[in-house]
Amino acid sequence: MPILKLEEYAIILLIIALLTIFLTRRIAVPYTLGLVIIGFILSMSGLLPDVRLIPDLVLLVFLPALLFEGAWSLRWDLVRSQWRVIFFLAGPGLLLSLVIAASVLHLLDGLDWGTAFLLAAILSPTDPVAVLSLFRQLHVDERLAVIIEGESLFNDGVAGSLYQTFLAVVLLSVHGGGSAGVAIWGRGLLLFALQAGGAIALGLASGWLISQTVRHIDEPLVETTMTLVTAYGVYLLADLLQLSAIVAVIVAALVVGNYGRSIGMSERTRMAVDNFWSVLAFLANALIFLLIGAQLNPLSLPSRSGGELASLLIALFAIGVVLLARLILVLFLGPYSLLASPIQRRERKERRQPSFPRSWQLIIFWSGLRGALSLALVLALPAEVPQRSILLISCYAVVFFTLLMQGMSLRWLLIRLPKMHQPDATSLPSAH
């Protein structure tokens, strides 16, 4: 695409995004959801420029910036206070929901195990932008916001690594004559361990090196540029080394955002870096959610020989599977949850006090929105992946339902549920 045409499209999209944001602020709707709706309407009417949410645009342009900004702004002390819940949701809980979703897809939808796990991994990453925007508008307790944001951030890393693992399993099965034996799954698991472990090591080393470097510099512009180079440099280096680029950027940003900023950045530099990444993330989110709305145009869905009814049934089934897996996951956060420490569980049992408010369970369940990363992953699937059209239809349906249906109803839910704004101080398990 010519540079001039690219600039024209970018300006048009930004103007549409700004007008949408002004409108949504007047009617108290998260701007991200407003952008999805406007993008969908303009795409259906043919008024939006012919631009698409291509995988490289998300994975190479938007994602490094969004990952770095999210990890940079996430305070480790707050994450540590809720680490049990976040670790469960993004670790064992994610694996649990993955197995549930893949099992249902395999048994009821007829997908082979490799493809079922691949689709489950694609649908695993959550997108908290609209949710956190609502939380800020309604002054929801900060601890709940930390849980939602922490889950999404670490979830992206785990889900991204699992996606690469199951895609490798599927492709090995295809090129191996369709026999996905123990050896293929063993190679897939080994690939996951190497990619995730290597990415963590790369992120830690890069974050530490940048943190030590900024100790000897007191220039906001230079240090801000170094964080930008870190975000994209670590991502590209991890991708070149065939490691999990998502995990590497998250780890590096956490180290720089917590360790580096405390030992090597002045207050003036911290404000400059915070402002830079806030603006960059805002622009990236504005463009990406507008493009998501355009991408959800039903006309862009792949055609199937079974017709529209078959596509509708596939879409409804995918939505049901995701909701079921999320519900079972959140039920483990129920009263007297094992996520509290033994002392806390004993004290709360004696006082007959739940370790996790039921209202928070419901919010965590309903706030599991899917967005750009899921779309980018499914669009990046090679053509030889079996039943690729089913994966596309399923992902489109889940993203559409979670962003528009769940996202638009979340405000109504937050306003009516108790313990949202002034929860009991002991309602969540603490690491201290």
Please give the pLDDT value at position 27: 80
DSSP state for residue 255 in the 8-state scheme = I
Confidence of residue 425 (pLDDT cuts 50, 70, 90): very low
Mean pLDDT of 122-126: 92
Please give the pLDDT value at position 300: 63
Please give the pLDDT value at position 315: 86
Around 146, how many Cα atoms within 13 Å sit in the side-chain half-sphere?
19
Angle of the 220-240 helix axis to the 63-73 helix axis, nearest 10: 120
Is the pLDDT at 178 greater than 50? The verdict is no
Mean pLDDT of 45-57: 77
Is the pLDDT at 339 greater than 60? The verdict is no
Query: Which amino acid is residue 363, in one-letter code?
Result: I
pTM greater than 0.75: yes
Token duo for residue 345: 């569980």
Mean pLDDT of 201-210: 96
Distance CA 98, CA 121 (A): 7
Q: Which domains does the chain have, with CATH numbers?
A: 3-416 (1.20.1530.20)
Give the closest residue to 58 by CA, choosing from 200, 198, 156, 155.
Answer: 156
Confidence of residue 203 (pLDDT cuts 50, 70, 90): very high
Structure confidence by residue, pLDDT tens digits, 135-155: 888 888 888 888 999 999 899
Is the pLDDT at 251 greater than 70? The verdict is yes
Distance (Å) of CA 151 to CA 73, 87, 138, 159, 404: 14, 8, 21, 11, 21
Mean pLDDT of 179-200: 80
Strands (DSSP E) along 231-344, which ranges? none
